[in-house]
Chains A and B, each alone.
Chain A
Amino acid sequence: MYTQALNTAETDDRGLEDAVKATQFQARIDAEERIEPNDWMPAAYRKTLTRQISQHAHSEIVGMLPEGNWITRAPTLRRKAALLAKVQDECGHGLYLYAAAETLGTSREELVDAMLAGKAKYSSIFNYPTLTWADIGTVGWLVDGAAIMNQIPLCRCSYGPYARAMIRVCKEESFHQRQGYEIMLTLCRGSDEQKAMAQDALNRWWWPVLMMFGPPDATSQHSDTSTKWKIKRFSNDELRQKFVDASVPQAQYLGLAIPDPGMAQDAEGHWRYSEIDWTEFKQVLAGNGPCNRDRMAARRKSHDEGAWVREAAAAYAAKRAQRHTAQAAE
């Protein structure tokens, strides 16, 4: 589903690298060339991307849980099939992204283990619960909407495998977003109870969604390295503002109120939002969100309970290879 601006500054270790190669590398980036897996790259570039892509992959996989929570309870067969297909897409994104991260030299197993050990982050938005069916609409509309806002610039990311993955992911996310909005539209055109359900979901998700774009630029710990390397092309606040400007008319069309009484449109047409509660964001990042423990417990449970299956598959593959070798020798 989505990665957020969680990356902290990376120590610039180019001093250890060949200065000439580093200059050539930067020249390629400046010329908007794509960096490919076998190309020379600074260690810090590799590390930053490995972390960002794997965080993104973890987010897709953990993100299956809040939406998966409604697959068995979707209100119609059409909704059930669409939601199942959507969550399956998220898994596909995860696999795709782990594969992109692997091109940088770290295996999927290592990346997954780091996440299960609590050493790697995933998007904080998935630490919020999906309480009603309207949450499925809201997650599609806003969470996927925020993801698209972040990911479209990543389609032009300097690292080729990530950029190409993002092109496909964005297409699917865009479909998910429309699907989510259509759920909201159906609710808002429905009974009073359904409208109330939609408003309640928006009330709970709005602020956490704004937090998805990461800390405000003024306090962001980001160095400008990601910008210089053309991994990141817009600041957190720029993307957040774009998202808000796109979302307000959509909420108005639904007849829903954004839960921000202080919100107003400025002279340039931008919807200016009130101060975000960054204490909540920090608490969720620190593991104290409503579902952090549940999400990690669910991922660890699947991983642990699936260990014997993965071992069996590996054992069988080894036996088969051995038999083939033995047959070939005969």
Chain B
Amino acid sequence: MATANIQVSETPLVLYALRRADDALVLGHRLSEWCGHAPMMEEDMALSNIALDLIGQARELYSYAAKAEGKDNDEDKLAYLRDVRQYRNLLLVEQPNGDFAQTLVRQFFYSAFADLYWRAMMNSRDTTLAAIAAKSEKESAYHLRHASEWIIRLGDGTDESHERAQAAIDHLWAFTGEMFAVDEGERALIHAGIAIDPGTLRGRWLTTLSDVVGEATLELPQNDWMQQGGRAGRHSEHLGHLLSELQSMQRTLPGLTW
């Protein structure tokens, strides 16, 4: 038995909330994969904590997307009953955990953006998004601090950790451009004061990265080529596997209360 995908009426506002919700859920899910398997117990705790924050953000954003859509979808239907082509997250967050350096570099790139993004979104004219932003901003600031400290430790630790951290930066760099891209629907929300233009954050994001990466004795790549597609549902092969695990119960035993 399998359950068909739900259909979502992706108005610009629904799509906007859904994209951020998918970012938070997919990254939270990835981090939760570490729980019980981290290099030290303190990191089992920390990564789980960050995962919990992100899953919490995702729940609020899905609920808001469902409300904005005004049909009978809810947070669980949106999370569990859309397939890979309907997911709208950044390619960056779906990348596999890899080693600890890859997980932390992924987190660093994302949190450095999310920290600025949520702070700016606190001024959104949409009161729900502004409220979600106020909560998420505090969480993101901690996530960024945690990730930055690790980038410095790994970069300026041993030869091996330095190499691993640099390899992770080089590998994940091409997935960062998507964070700053805007499409027509989002442009309209920006004009209406509901969303912010992420392009305006790029300079400060780069400064944060340069500062931390510099202190870590690491380097940012010169390569400008950026992968795109996540926001439109064109994902890497990794996401389908993540979703098949995430959604397995709702797909095999549909329509029940858990």
- Identify the A interface with B (CB < 8 A): 61, 64-65, 68, 71-81, 84-85, 87-88, 91-92, 94-95, 98, 133, 183, 186-187, 189-191, 193-194, 298, 301-302, 305-313, 315-316, 319
Contact = CB atoms under 8 A, between A and B. Distances in A.
Given A73-B246, A312-B161, A319-B156, A302 B39 contact: yes
B126 interface: no
Interface size class of B (residues with CB under 8 A): 35 or more
A75 B249 contact: yes
A305 B39 contact: yes
B189 interface: no
6 contacts: A73-B248, A74-B249, A88-B49, A91-B45, A302-B38, A312-B153
Interface string B239-252: 00000011011100
A47 B248 CA distance: 47
The binding surface of chain B is classed by DSSP as helix
Given A72-B246, A77-B62, A310 B153 contact: no
B160 A75 contact: no
Interface of B: 25, 29, 32-33, 35-45, 48-49, 51-52, 55-56, 58-59, 62, 75-76, 79-80, 99-100, 152-154, 156-158, 160-161, 164, 245-246, 248-250, 253, 256-258
Contact of A312 (B45, B51, B160): B160
A61 B41 contact: yes
A122 B95 CA distance: 35
Most chain-B CB neighbours within 10 Å: which of A79, A85, A94, A315? A315
A21 to B, nearest CB: 36
A168 B160 CA distance: 40
A64 B161 contact: no
Contacts of B245: 72-73
B161 A84 contact: no
B44 A64 contact: yes
Nearest to B253: A193
A306 B253 CA distance: 37
A78 B258 CA distance: 9
Given A95-B42, A309-B161, A65 B152 contact: no
Across the A-B interface, give the 4 residue pairs with the lowest CB-CB distance, nearest first.
Answer: A306-B39, A312-B157, A312-B161, A309-B39
A73 B58 CA distance: 16
Nearest to A191: B256
A309 B51 contact: no
Contacts of A312: 153-154, 157-158, 160-161
A88 B52 contact: yes
Given A310-B39, A312-B161, A313-B153, A72 B59 contact: no
Given A68-B35, A81-B55, A315-B158, A309 B40 contact: yes
Contacts of B45: 88, 91-92, 95
A194 B39 contact: no
A64 B35 contact: yes
Given A194-B256, A316-B156, A72 B32 contact: yes
Nearest to B33: A72
Contacts of B37: 68, 298, 301-302
Contacts of A95: 41-42, 45
Contact of A310 (B40, B56, B253): B40
Q: Which of the listed residues B25, B35, B253 has the most CB atoms from chain A within 10 Å of its own CB?
A: B35
A133 B249 contact: yes
Nearest to B164: A308
Contact of A79 (B39, B44, B258): B258
Given A84-B52, A316-B152, A316-B153, A77 B40 contact: no
Given A72-B246, A309-B40, A88 B48 contact: yes
